[in-house]
């Protein structure tokens, strides 16, 4: 179910021709899409966990994520497919930043 929602968001962004868009989300879960070239990356963020994941398309490079947790900003986390941060106790994330390559700009979710 969650994957379907993400794919729907990706499809909507593609139809609209929007490179970077913010999708309204349910309370306490933020979703951002960050596109680069033909590739779509998407980020999800809640108080307990955040991730940036490669979506569909010709994705090159890594998915990148950093969070502000427990008052401290993390280093950037990156992964060939999914960069993820799970907060101890599943709480305390107040900001997450999601980007599609090391030197790319990022989209922010605030809690």
Binding residues for Zn ion, per CB under 5 A?
28, 111
The C-alpha atoms of residue 28 and residue 11 are separated, in whole angstroms, by 23
Nearer to Zn ion, 78 or 111 (CB): 111
38/57 Cα distance (integer angstroms): 5
- Give min distance, CB of 26 to Zn ion, in A: 10
- Report in angstroms how near the CB of residue 109 gets to Zn ion at its nearest: 8
- Nearer to Zn ion by C-beta: 28 or 60? 28
Please, is 94 exposed, middle or buried when counting C-beta atoms within 10 Å of its C-beta (0-12, 13-18, 19+)? middle
Shortest distance, position 47 Cβ to Zn ion, whole Å:
5
Cα 100 → chain centroid: 9
Closest-CB residue for Zn ion? 111
Which is nearer to Zn ion, 7 or 95 (by Cβ)? 95
- The CA distance from 54 to 56, in Å, is 7
């Amino acid at each position: 179910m969650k994957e379907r929602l993400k794919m729907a968001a990706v499809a909507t962004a593609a139809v609209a021709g929007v490179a970077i868009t913010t999708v309204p989300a349910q309370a306490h879960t933020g979703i951002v899409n960050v596109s680069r070239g033909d590739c779509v990356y998407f980020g999800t963020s809640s108080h307990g966990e955040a991730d940036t994941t490669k979506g569909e398309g010709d994705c090159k490079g890594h998915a990148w994520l950093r969070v502000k947790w427990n008052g401290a900003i993390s280093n950037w986390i990156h992964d060939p497919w999914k960069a993820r941060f799970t907060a101890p106790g599943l709480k305390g994330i107040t900001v997450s930043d999601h980007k599609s390559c090391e030197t790319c700009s990022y989209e922010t979710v605030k809690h």
